[in-house]
Amino acid sequence: MTTQIYTMGYEGRKPAELLRVAEQLDATIVDIRLRATSAHPQWREGALRELLGDHYARCAQLGNTRYREPAGADGPRPIEIADFDAGAAYVLENSCPVILMCSCRQLTTCHRLSVVQLLWERHRVECRELDWDETGGAPKSVGIYWLEKWQDMQKMKASSGEEIS
Ligand SMILES: [Zn+2]
């Protein structure tokens, strides 16, 4: 079972940065987009596979089947994980660290937050969002412990009558 799970969004990054962080952490980047395509060729599955080699894997089961639907006027983007249990089993059986990757820059509006939440609820596995340096390229550390943020968010939502689903 993998000992460490990180999350990241590649928006605003360069593919070479992904390779660097994967090598630094000796991690597998698991692409959890429902469709591993992009308007930008460098972010398509084939290109990533070629660049990252063994550091790349796909897990569409952890994709958001509703990713094409826009956010509601006053609500978040709808999220439905394709097949969480199958995806989680796949991720957790890795022996090396795993980086769950989507395109979205923001953790809070990305479906990876739902994945991380479910990993905690069902498996008591804690994940960390990669802490990229906003000013320059490489991740300055890999330590933002997002769970506290999520718990804070839950409290905020609870107090405003909303539910995270
Ligand atoms: Zn996303």
pLDDT digits (tens, 9 = 90+) for 4-47: 899 999 998 899 989 988 988 899 999 999 999 999 999 999 99
Output the CA 129–ligand 1 centroid distance in Å: 13
**Domain membership flag for residue 75:** yes
User: Residue 150: pLDDT band by 50, 70, 90 thresholds?
Assistant: low
Find the 114 Cα to ligand 1 centroid distance in Å: 10
pLDDT of residue 142: 41
In a domain, 109, yes or no: yes
Q: Is 164 part of a structural domain of the chain?
A: no
Single pTM value for the model: 0.81
pLDDT at 131 > cutoff 80: no
pLDDT exceeding 90 applies to what percent of the chain? 47
CA of 158 to the centre of ligand 1 (A): 23
Centre of ligand 1 to C-alpha 103, Å, is 5
* Percentage with pLDDT > 70 across the chain: 77
The CATH number of the domain where 154 resides is what?
A: 3.90.190
Domain tally for the chain?
Answer: 1
Q: Is residue 125 one of the residues assigned to a domain?
A: yes
CA 1–ligand 1 middle distance (angstroms): 25
pLDDT at residue 143 greater than cutoff 50: no
Which two structure tokens, joined as six digits, stand for 4?
Answer: 């460490």
Helical axes 111-123 vs 146-159, angle rounded to 10°: 100
For residue 38, report the phi and psi dihedrals to the nearest 5 degrees.
Answer: -160, 155
Distance from the CA of 110 to the center of ligand 1, in angstroms? 4
What pLDDT, on the 0 to 100 scale, is given for residue 154?
Answer: 65
Q: Which domain holds residue 45?
A: 5-159
* Within-domain flag for 53: yes
